[in-house]
Every structure is written in structure tokens, then in C-alpha cells.
Structure 1
Amino acid sequence: MRKLLGIIFLLYGYPAFAQADTTQYRVAGRKNLPENYGRPYVILISADGFRYDYATKYNAVNLLKLSAGGVASKGMIPSYPSNTFPNHYTLVTGMYPSTHGLVDNSFYDPHRDATYNMGNKAMVNDSSWYGGLPLWGLAEKNGLVSASLFWVASESRVAGIPPTYHYKYHNEFSNDRKVEIVKEWLQLPEAERPHLITLYFPEVDSQGHYYGPDARETEAAVHQVDEAIGKLVAEVSKLGLPDVNFVFVSDHGMLLSDVDHPIPVPELVSNRKFVVINSYSLVRIHALNPEQVRPVYRQLKKERNKDYKVYLTRHFPKRLHFRTNADDRIGDILLVPRAPKVFGSNPPSKRKYPGAHGYDPKKVPEMKATFMAWGPAFKPGKVIGTFENIHVYPLVAKILDLPVTHLIDGRSKVLGKTLKSP
């Protein structure tokens, strides 16, 4: 476990060996409205980096069996960029990253003159960075108690509404303990029992980064998560609750990248006239002087580097929904490497992490994520094609009978076909 925590620290900057806050936080006074006691339950589970083919590739017996009795997709399409924070938040808001504002794991906001970073706990907990209304906020607004055992933004107060029960992110809990916590929540008195629960597992992504998607360590992580899901379903079934539904997703896939030949970020923008955010599979360039955008873009295009493409952000492929953002967080110029190439860090990293993501999910199939669902709400034995992850939000809202009256990018009809008729 300590080795895994070290991997997470090296990859993401989390203070893995600092004293973790394992406290459960509860919003006092929250209860289900009596008329909501009979509502279904949804447990939304994310296994970070669980590529669309991992369950079959590594014979995840529990997930294959459970999804065979419910719904399985041939692959869920992450939003661009196919990275952890933007896609976890898309899953619970039904909005593209450019819409909800969490445009990457790290990004610069010129209006604040500040850079958001997923490893900065203060920023992660600051709700002012996040747009949209997360599923837990939608539930609580409608008198339905929610709980989160980790999810992006669940520690903050987005729209002023945190989950009733939640934890600050840490890596101290074993998977068995996570199962126990969910079971404890579902054993609470009916008035206090959460009907929406989010649950997060980091292992597959961490090992995929560190060793690559084809490594035995990644396979072991898949089996570790699969075992936890099997235990979770078994323990919840013992409670005898009438209408518990499980939605198992991931945020993105994983690719074996060319870490031996990293692309250097162009010297042209490596100065104080620009803010450069390097996500390795995407470089975003903010020009502090707008008059610099055009000439720098032309010069970068003129160099004709075969390893990456250069875009003015406003001319980025429309299908990726990554041209504009209300807070101008995307940048002015985008440098997009041709998979499996990646941009190098400066100074160069002492370690090489062969697993990568963040690429165009519609051109790089390894970016596709997983979607499986089972429970009384879902049709049995249904296999569906690929779809965008923005549609998970209205699906969960529909199961819980929560009205979505605000604008989102997802549409309920896309996954409505997976549900049984009322």
C-alpha cells in the first residue's frame, strides 16, 4: 500500500505521506423528505483509469457477471481532455469540461491570475472553481440524502450544497473498509439513509501509469477492484433493500506512451510572456499579451513539427467541445501530440511513467472508458454501443426521479433505453 501511495504522490502531487484526515463529515439536520422514503438507491462507482476493455482483457469475473445481468457498453467516450478531474466532474454534472469549468487536472485562469492544480488541497476544496450542479446537489435540493466516499469536488460546497455525508480525499481506507462504510450508510434509519452514493477506487489508474496498461501490476489492480465490487454487491444484498442500483464507470482509458522520446515544449513560449500548462498529452498556451497570439501561432505552425499539431483554440475541432470557456481557462494556442507521443517535463523527470491518457477519445481508442450498470432499474442482458459520458448524469437523475431543470449537455434519451419501463 505504501508503494501505491508513493506512486499517487509522484504522479499527481498529493501529499501521500502526510497525516490523512479520515474524519467523516456530516451536514447536521439533513434528512430525506418522508415522501422520498420509497425512492430507489444508486451507488455510482468509479474505477479511475479502468479502460473499456480491461474487464474482458483481465477477466474481471464479478464485473462481467454483474453487467451480464444488466447493461454493458462497448465503450464510454470521455470528454476532452480525457483526464481524471475534468471527466469525474463531467460524470456528476452532465456538462463538458469547457462548460463546467474544470478544463483539466491543472489549468490557468487569467481572470484570477491563478493556476488550479489537483494536488492543491485548498483549491480542490474551493467551490468557486466549479460550475454546474453535481448529482449530490441535485439530490439534496430535492430532499434526498446523498453520500460521497470520494469524488472530485465532493469535499467542496458547489452551489452551496455538499453531500450530507462525505470524506476528504485520502488513501488510508482499504477497499474492505470502503465496502463497510457504504454498508453502514445503507443501514442508517430511513430518514437518514443516503439514496445516492458515490464511491472511488484509484488503483487501476495508478498502476496503469506506473507500469503501463499491459503490465501484470495493472492486471492485479483490475482484480483488486473487481474483488471489491463483488464484496460490495454481496454485502449490500444482505441488507434486503428493495431497489439498489449500481452504475460502474471510469473516467478514461490508458495508452502505452512513447516516454523514451518526449517532445520538448517549444522554446518560443518558454518565457514570461506566456503561461504554459503542460498536461503531457496536451499543452495549453496563454499569451499575456493578446497581440502575441497570431505571430506565435504562425511561427509554431511554420516549424511543422511532425510529432504534434498546433491549433488556435477557437479553431479546435468542434466535435471535442473544447473551443471556448466562460473563464478563458483553455488558453489561446493548443499543442496536441500525435499518440503515443507525449510532451516532456522541464526539468526532465527522473522517472518514466509509460501509461498516459488525455488524448482525443474519438481518435485514440485506448482512451475509451468503462460503463456497466445493474439493478432493478436496468434491463437485463443489454449491450449498448459507445456514447459520451455527459449522458450518465441524466440517467442517474431519472432513476432517482430527480427533475433536471437547469441546462446540461447530456440528454436523458441516450441512456433511457437501458432502463425498464415504469
Structure 2
Amino acid sequence: MMTWTHRTFAVLIAAWFCSSPVTRADEADTQRHVVIVSLDGLAAYLVDDPKVPLPTIRRLAREGCIVDGGMTVSNPSVTWPNHTTLLTGVRPEKHGVLANGVLVRGPIGMPTVIDSKRDQADLVRLPTIVDVAHQAGMRTGEINWPCTRGSESFDDQFPDVPDALEHSTPRLLKELVELELLDEDIAGSFKQLSTVGRDHLWTQAACHLIRSRKPNLMLVHLLNVDSVHHTLGPQTAAGYTANAYADMCLAQIVDAIDDAGIREQTTLIVVSDHGFAATPKAIRPNVVLREAGMLAVDAGKLSTARVHVVPEGGIGLVYCTNPSESKQTIEAFKKLFLGKEGVADVISPDRYREVGFQHPREYSQSPDAILVAADGHSVSGSVTGDTLVASNTEARTAIGSHGFLSTMPKMKAMCILSGAGIPPGTHLSTIENIDIAPTVAQILGLDYPSADGKALTVLQKP
């Protein structure tokens, strides 16, 4: 199995650029601009919900193109994997991001853990469309985009990562202080911000970069909708308020494009990374495994395990800690869970083609099986309690969840394109999010042959 290091990544990047046609700045369309705004967790079904005030989103849809019914996302339907799919045009089985961090297997008997404090080089196994744009001499920027820490392909960045300020562009942070968006005590003032406050900061930072730098490719990721949907549920009064606030932030970004004088040359792509489902119940597979003697608990925490489950919302990633016993262990796992309340399926590696995962023999981060929760249930990582099924409050899980298989209609993501090259009033049937990166490449005149998706046919030639 290959261990991914910065050196490995650098070698692969160099090999990719040597073997692929690299677009030069004089070949790429440096007068064109693409702004991608990701409204985390704003499910496709909300665009047609009359209770949601979304004037900006609906206006952009009328003036451009909307994907009817929403955009199909990748498995797992969580944030970092799907933001990486948007930038690579390939599913996680190729780009390698399966969680909000790197899944690190321990030695025999020790649990797998998620390490979020990683660079892009540790996470992503091939160049992104941003890397290609930068190589072509284009200006690039990102605000709160996942899996970009440590990238050298951004002129300005403020990545979505723990300790984000330590990995942000110093000149950008200095400008945010000058704009009075952060105090001189940058870390202290940022830490005090609520999720709403951070969305405001990130929106204003994006607007500043658009006005002052006019990037050819700008990425913006806002989080408040996702946060509220988790804690208070989608299609609730609080959820609708969060949706409306996201729309207001988007309106400010549109205004910044106008202020920059680049509206006629800018294509705006508004997406979400996944949908949302209400999950008033949860399943606690690690409780069942504890009772079966397949894992041990110390002081209320998982200590050692023959097999255990890492929760990803509507699915659980099942890890066996002894590879030589994995086949037998998974068969025992299936007998414990198949047909039980709250369990929709247990998918073993022989079925991974269905969900777009690599076999764990091919990629160490891949799980040994996937536990799928039934609609209305999420997967808890709790090791305490007495029953498989519990209320979300007892299981300490969110009332709203994603992470379900991408075939669930509620997981469909919003996708709207508007502006340069997009004919108004256009509708597309459902697409996959692997189509976004090649669409960006076509708009900017870049060669990006590694994508599995295809540029959307709605595009008009400039």
C-alpha cells in the first residue's frame, strides 16, 4: 500500500504536468472569471420550498441555469470529500478523500482515527483544477475551502481546516484587520465568532478579494446552513432563517462581482456539497460490538477493538484492526446488524463498485465494510448505552444529518450556473458533481484531462 507524503504528492504532481498538456497563460482565457460559492448543506429540495426566502438564488436560476432536482453527490455525502470532487472531477475512490481528514489505521487492536490537521498533499491524490489554473498563470483565491491547506496554487487563501489562521495568507489577514473584520488580536477575535459571524467574515473576505484581486478562479465555502441543519434540523424555522442568511451572503458576493467591473466576464457557480435529512433517531453499532466482546471501553471511551465503526452521518465506516481476520470479522458483523431496526444495509468490499469506494487492499483508508442507516436514523460512534437504537438526544447525535448514500434523493445538492456563457432560463436534468471541474476548465480554456466528468452542455462559447 502506498503511503501518501508531501514528497510523493510532489512527484505525482510533476509527473502529471509532464505527461499532460499544460495550458500556458497566453493560451488560457485570462480575461474570464469563475466564482464558485458552496453553501454547505443547502439541499436541492430547498430551492423549491416556498417557505424558504431565496431571492438571490432563484434570480440567478432564472437568469442562468438550474439543475432540476439537484446534483448527485459522491459517497460519502460529507463535506471534504465532495468539495474535493468539485475541484477534481473524480469521485473519492480516485481523489482519496473519504472523510473530513485522513483516516489513520492503528496497529492491530487499535482504532482508526480521523486526522483533520493535514495539508492538501496528504489528502488529495491528483491535481485540482486550481493547480492547473495556477500553473497556467491565472489568479486564484479561496475562502474556507476544504482540503487546500498548504497549497501553493492560491494567491490568497483562508482554508477550512483546524487552526485556519496559521495556514492563511498573511497579507490577507493583515487586510482583514485593516477592514476591521478582525481585531489586532486576530486569533482571539476569530475564536469569538459564531458560525454566523464566521460566514459574515468569510463573505466579506471573499468580496474583498473579488474587488481588489479580480481572481480568475475564486472559491468560497459558507458553513452556517450546515451547522443549523445539524443542530436544529432542516426545514425548520431556524433552518429557513439560515437559508435566508446564506442567500443574503450570496447577494453580497454578486454585488462584489459588479463592483469589480467583471460581471460580463464572470460565470458564477452556486452549489452545495450535499443535502440533508432529519434524523430523530440513531443507531449505536459500537454498543452492540461492545456487548459482543468485539471492542473494549475504558472510562467511557473506545480503547481497543477487533472491529469498530467510525460514524459519517447516515453511514458508518467499519474498520477491522487485524487485516488477516477481516473477512471473518465482517461476516460476523453482518450477522449482528443485517435486518435490525435502523439498519438499511451492510456493504462489503465485493460491492464497493456500487458506491465508488476502493477495496481496502488497494487503499488503506477505505473501510472494511459500510454500515448504512435507515432513513430517519444517523450512525452514532457512542460506545455507551444499552440498545442499538436510541433517540438522537440519548445518542448525542444531530437532529439533522447527511452522509447517507448519494442515491437518497434528500442528499441531492443545489447547482445553479449564471453569468458569462450561461443562456438564461436553462434547465438541466440531474448531473453529477464530477462535472463541475471540467466545466470550469472549459470556461477558463484549460486542459484538464484527468476528470471523469464532462463539461456541461449548457455552456456557450465566449
Q: Please say if 1:377 is aligned against 2:421.
A: yes
Q: Deviations over 1:59-107 (max 9, x none)?
A: 3011101111101012001101111111111111111112111112255
Per the alignment, residue 146 of structure 1 pairs with: 140
Using the alignment, how far apart are the partners of 1:323 and 1:248 within structure 2?
30
Using the alignment, how far apart are the partners of 1:376 and 1:370 within structure 2?
19
Q: Please say if 1:356 is aligned against 2:401.
A: yes
How far has the Cα of 1:391 moved from its partner? Answer: 0.8
Using the alignment, how far apart are the partners of 2:423 and 2:112 within structure 1?
44
1:329 is paired with a residue whose SS is coil
Per the alignment, residue 41 of structure 2 pairs with: 49
Q: Please say if 1:245 is aligned against 2:280.
A: no
How far has the Cα of 1:117 moved from its partner? Answer: 3.1
Per the alignment, residue 81 of structure 2 pairs with: 86
Per the alignment, residue 232 of structure 2 pairs with: 211
Q: 2:121 aligns with which of 124, 127, 134?
A: 127
Q: Please say if 1:255 is aligned against 2:263.
A: no
TM-score, with length taken from structure 2:
0.74
Using the alignment, how far apart are the partners of 1:398 and 1:114 within structure 2?
44
How far has the Cα of 1:256 moved from its partner? Answer: 0.5
Call closer, same or farther: CA 1:177–1:35 in 2, change over 3 Å. farther
Unaligned runs of 5+ in 2: 1-23, 165-189, 296-303, 385-392
Q: Please say if 1:393 is aligned against 2:433.
A: no
Call closer, same or farther: CA 1:187–1:224 in 2, change over 3 Å. closer
Call closer, same or farther: CA 1:136–1:107 in 2, change over 3 Å. closer
Q: Please say if 1:186 is aligned against 2:229.
A: no
1:151 is paired with a residue whose SS is strand
How far has the Cα of 1:402 moved from its partner? Answer: 0.8
How far has the Cα of 1:315 moved from its partner? Answer: 2.1
How far has the Cα of 1:237 moved from its partner? Answer: 1.2
Q: Contact conserved, 2:199 with 2:223, CA < 8 A, in 1?
A: no
Q: Please say if 1:336 is aligned against 2:372.
A: yes
Using the alignment, how far apart are the partners of 2:249 and 2:460 within structure 1?
27
Aligned residues: 375
Per the alignment, residue 461 of structure 2 pairs with: 421
Q: Contact conserved, 1:281 with 1:341, CA < 8 A, in 2?
A: yes
Using the alignment, how far apart are the partners of 1:111 and 1:264 within structure 2?
20
Using the alignment, how far apart are the partners of 2:306 and 2:383 within structure 1?
19
Q: How does 1:218-367 map to 2 (within 5 A)?
A: 218-241=239-262, 242-259=264-281, 261-265=282-286, 266-267=288-289, 268=292, 269-270=294-295, 271-274=304-307, 276-303=309-336, 304-306=338-340, 307-308=342-343, 309-316=345-352, 318-324=353-359, 326-347=362-383, 351-362=396-407, 364-367=408-411
Call closer, same or farther: CA 1:76–1:231 in 2, change over 3 Å. same
Q: Contact conserved, 2:111 with 2:321, CA < 8 A, in 1?
A: no
Q: Contact conserved, 1:56 with 1:64, CA < 8 A, in 2?
A: no
Q: Deviations over 1:219-248 (max 9, x none)?
A: 001100101111221232133224011000
Q: Contact conserved, 1:67 with 1:373, CA < 8 A, in 2?
A: yes
Q: Contact conserved, 1:136 with 1:162, CA < 8 A, in 2?
A: yes
Using the alignment, how far apart are the partners of 1:153 and 1:399 within structure 2?
23
AA at the equivalent of 1:359 = F
TM-score, with length taken from structure 1:
0.81
The CA RMSD measured in Å over matched residues stands at: 2.6
Call closer, same or farther: CA 1:401–1:114 in 2, change over 3 Å. farther
Q: Deviations over 1:339-367 (max 9, x none)?
A: 222222324576442101111121x2111
Q: Deviations over 1:183-238 (max 9, x none)?
A: 433344xxx64200001110110000011112111100110010111122123213
Using the alignment, how far apart are the partners of 2:54 and 2:273 within structure 1?
18
Call closer, same or farther: CA 1:163–1:368 in 2, change over 3 Å. same
Q: Deviations over 1:13-61 (max 9, x none)?
A: xxxxxxxxxxxxxxxxxxx946757431000000000000212311301
Per the alignment, residue 102 of structure 1 pairs with: 97
Unaligned runs of 5+ in 1: 1-31
AA at the equivalent of 1:146 = T
Using the alignment, how far apart are the partners of 2:432 and 2:232 within structure 1?
28
Per the alignment, residue 155 of structure 2 pairs with: 164
Q: Which structure shows the bigger proportion of residues in helix conformation?
A: 2
AA at the equivalent of 1:47 = L
Q: Contact conserved, 1:379 with 1:420, CA < 8 A, in 2?
A: yes
1:387 is paired with a residue whose SS is coil
Percent identity of the aligned residues? 22
Call closer, same or farther: CA 1:275–1:201 in 2, change over 3 Å. same
Q: Contact conserved, 1:111 with 1:327, CA < 8 A, in 2?
A: no
Per the alignment, residue 452 of structure 2 pairs with: 409
How far has the Cα of 1:288 moved from its partner? Answer: 2.9
Using the alignment, how far apart are the partners of 1:217 and 1:207 within structure 2?
7
